[in-house]
Amino acid sequence: MSVTVQFDLPESVFSSIRSAPDDFVSELRLAAAIKWFESGRISQGKAAEVAGISRQAFHDALSEYGVSAFQVSSEDLRDELRTL
């Protein structure tokens, strides 16, 4: 099942970012997925699904945007170090 979300943007937005509406939607989905993954709200697999790309392509996009593919909290890291 999928849900359609619709919102209005001024046409000038597309010329400002030099992007066609369809490309804009893809970029918006990817940007949201990366941000939500980075903030720990969703997993890497779910983020790839949100972006509409494969997990490998999402991993590559993380690298392009300078976002680590490894999301570990300081508490998780301390717990891991204690077990060593």
The answer to the question of residue 9 being in a domain is no
Give the lowest-confidence range in 51-55, 65-69, 77-81.
77-81
The residue range of the domain holding 41 is 18-82
Instruction: Convert the pLDDT of each residue in 11-22 to its tens digit.
Output: 888 888 888 888
Residue 13 counted as domain residue? no
CATH number where 57 lies:
1.10.10
For 21-51, give the DSSP string.
Answer: HHHHHHHHHHHHHHHHHHTTSS-HHHHHHHH
38 domain-assigned? yes
Q: Is the dihedral of CA 32, 33, 39, 42 positive or negative?
A: positive
Half-sphere CA count of 30, side-chain side, radius 13 A: 19
pTM of the model: 0.80
Domain assignment of residue 1, yes or no: no
Cα three-residue angle 48-50-52, rounded to 5 degrees: 65
The tally of domains found in the chain comes to 1
